[in-house]
Structures are given as structure tokens and as C-alpha cells.
Amino acid sequence: MAREVISSGNDLAAMAAVDAGCMFFGGYPITPSSEVMHTISDLLPKVGGTCIQMEDEIGGICAAIGAAMSGVRSMTATSGPGMSLKAENLGLAQMAEVPLVVVDVMRGGPSTGLPTRVSQGDVAQAKNPSHGDYKSITLCAGDLTECYTETVRAFNLADRFMQPVIVLLDETIGHMHGKAVLPDLEEVKAGIKPRKTFDGPVEEYRPYGVAQDEPAVLNPMFKGYRYHFTGLHHDAMGFPTEEIETCRKLIDRLFRKVDEHRDELEYNEEYKLDDADILLIGYGSASLAIKEAINRLRDEGIKAGMFRPITLWPSPEERLFELGQKFDKVLSVELNQGQYLEEIQRAMGRKDIQKLTKTNGRPFSPQDIIDKVKEVF
């Protein structure tokens, strides 16, 4: 049976991690994500897990990566400035193909910005949180229930694709306190899919010697299978190399293991789109105001609908293209200067998308969106 709880988004993300089998959390407190660590520090010891507050955000992700290398599900949580500090080690996890969940509760920026206020300013950062070539996987919760369900999904995707998976919340949804309807715990446990392992002869083990559309197969450390972890370009055993074809195939595989399995990643919501004349695109907590605005607009006879990407990266580019062909009137709504608008324009092949943005740390009201729709359409 479904469970009804009264909680906050940050607490729900911590609950979800433990329910999904997370056994290690390494982090450092930073507004507005600190409650994730506070809550999981109480929950993990009860199931035999460990939570460590490190000396800073860099230490937090390093500890989480180390735990993941040992084979356990591992998580860290932070906000935009912490993501900046974690950037180099996020690149290490991409290159070494270490599964990890990172909860990013967005706030105003750049730099220290507005620590206690809302923003969706980390969307572009989440696409390329570290330098180099790879494909990011980024999910974005739109309500309290999704703070739980998307964190659970992130753990399963991290083990499936063997790389970091980012879950974006924001200050509004992270600190919002209300009712969430959660899936049955047995259902969550049944959906846990452990990462692949190799059980053949030790001498035949090649962790990175996999098909070009598949992730590495990394057996837990200290279990009898030896291989090398490195942030350098590496061969099938993980040892550094500069051999031309090996390097090319490695980076090509980091792309293809995601691109060729987008069907396992894409997840969207479409709200009252069937008979709509106006398309609103938004995500995260902004989508709550968009829904209410759509309901009020329809009361006035204005048929608007919403498309909400829940998997932001890789983007639902094919569906965005289809919607761009169907709707002449399109409005992008974001709590930033238009970080996802650029992706919408690219996917739709259009530059005439209207936008409504806000960067003063305050959320949208439904009236903000209603006024903009009437102004531009």
C-alpha cells in the first residue's frame, strides 16, 4: 500500500536514499541542503550504514566515491557552491565509472548568492558539472513525492549506468512541508537492481572491456578481483594509456552508454496538453505555480497546458521537437535567466520561444505566469 507522510523535501530525499539501499553518506552542511545530511545521519546507523561529516564539500564527495568503490550505494548532498567544489571529483567518478547519487538543493547564485532563497540556477551546471566529455544524468523533482521517488530512481540509474546521477531539488521544494504519497516500501525494495558484477575467472576480468554502449563492470573492491582506478584515460583493466584508439573508444563509450539507452532515462509529465493552444514548459517547484496558472487560465477560457521534463539531462529532445511542431505559442518558465531555454530552442529548432524568468530569490506566483501569458499571447 502507498504511504502517506508529512515531511519536507530534503527529509524525503534522505528517507528515499536509505529505503533504496544507500549505506554511506559523505558530505558537509550547506544551506539549503543541510537537512538531507541531518536526517540521513539519524537513519543510516539504524540500518548499519554510515554518515560522515567531512571537513568540506571536496572531502564529502571523496569519501562517498571511496565508499561506492567498495560496492555500497553511496550519496552526497550539497547546493550550487558545493557542486562547484565537487566538480573535479565528479569528473573522476565519470571517468572511473563509479556510481554515486548527488542531491543538489539549488539556491541563488553565482558565488554565495542568496543562500536562503530559491533558484534553479544549477541546471546548466548539472549538464556539465566537470570538465571533459561525458553524458550527465540529471533528474529534477517537481513535488514532495518526487523528492522521494526521484532519489530512489537515481540510485537505480547510478548502478545501471555506473556514473554519478544528480537529483535537483530547490530551496522551495526542499524546505516545503506537507503531505507526500510514497510507494510501498516493499515495492521500493523490489525495484532495487544491483550493479552488474563479473563472476568468472580472475584472469579474464576486464572491468572496462565492455561493449561500446555499456557501462563498466566494477566488482566491489577487496573481493578478489584486481583492477586500477584512475582519472586518466585507461585501458580495459583501468591502467593509464595514451593509445589513440583506446582513448577514442573510451570517451565514445561514455557517451553511447547513455545516448543509446535514453528510453531507460526519459521521464516527463504532460498536464492538460491534449486540447491546449498554449504550451508552457517548466520544471521543479516552478511547475507547481504553472499548474495553478493553467487551471485559472482555463477558467477564463484560455487553453494552456504544461510539459515538464523530470529527466532534465539528457533532455527529452525528440518530444520537445514534436511539441515545437505542434504549438505556435510556447512559453518557458524558469527561476534563472533561461538555462533550459537554450536546450528547448535547440531541440525545437526555434528561436521564437517566449520566456518568463526570475532571479531575485523569490518563487513564481500563479499570477506572474497568468500575466505573462496574457502579455505575450
pTM of the predicted model as reported, rounded to 2 decimal places: 0.97
pLDDT at 194 exceeding the cut of 90: no
User: What is d(CA 289, CA 275) in angstroms, rounded to the nearest whole number?
Assistant: 20
- What is the pLDDT at residue 223? 85
Q: Burial level of 275, CB count in 10 A (0-12/13-18/19+)?
A: exposed
The mean pLDDT value for 148-161 works out to 98
333's enclosing H/E stretch is strand 329-334
User: What is d(CA 135, CA 137) in angstroms, rounded to the nearest whole number?
Assistant: 7
List pLDDT tens digits, range 331-375: 999 999 999 999 999 999 999 999 999 999 999 999 999 999 999
- Identical fold, 3-190 and 270-376: yes
pLDDT at 1 exceeding the cut of 80: no
C-alpha pair distances (Å), 214 with each of 25, 163, 252, 258, 348:
27, 12, 11, 8, 29
Q: What is the mean pLDDT of the chain?
A: 97
Helices 9-19 and 34-43 pack at an angle, to 10 degrees, of 40
CA dihedral of residues 77, 82, 84, 86 (deg, nearest 10): -60
Are the beta carbons of 329 and 250 closer than 8 angstroms?
Answer: no
List pLDDT tens digits, range 134-143: 999 999 999 9
Phi and psi at 370, nearest 5°, equal -60, -45
Q: Which residues neighbour 42 within 8 Å (Cβ) at sequence distance 6 or greater?
A: none
Domains in the chain: boundaries = 3-190, 270-376
Superfamily covering domain 3-190: Thiamin diphosphate (ThDP)-binding fold, Pyr/PP domains (3.40.50.970)
Q: Which CATH class is domain 270-376?
A: alpha beta
Cβ atoms within 10 Å, residue 261: 15
List pLDDT tens digits, range 67-115: 999 999 999 999 999 999 999 999 999 999 999 999 999 999 999 999 9
Phi and psi at 180, nearest 5°, equal -125, 140
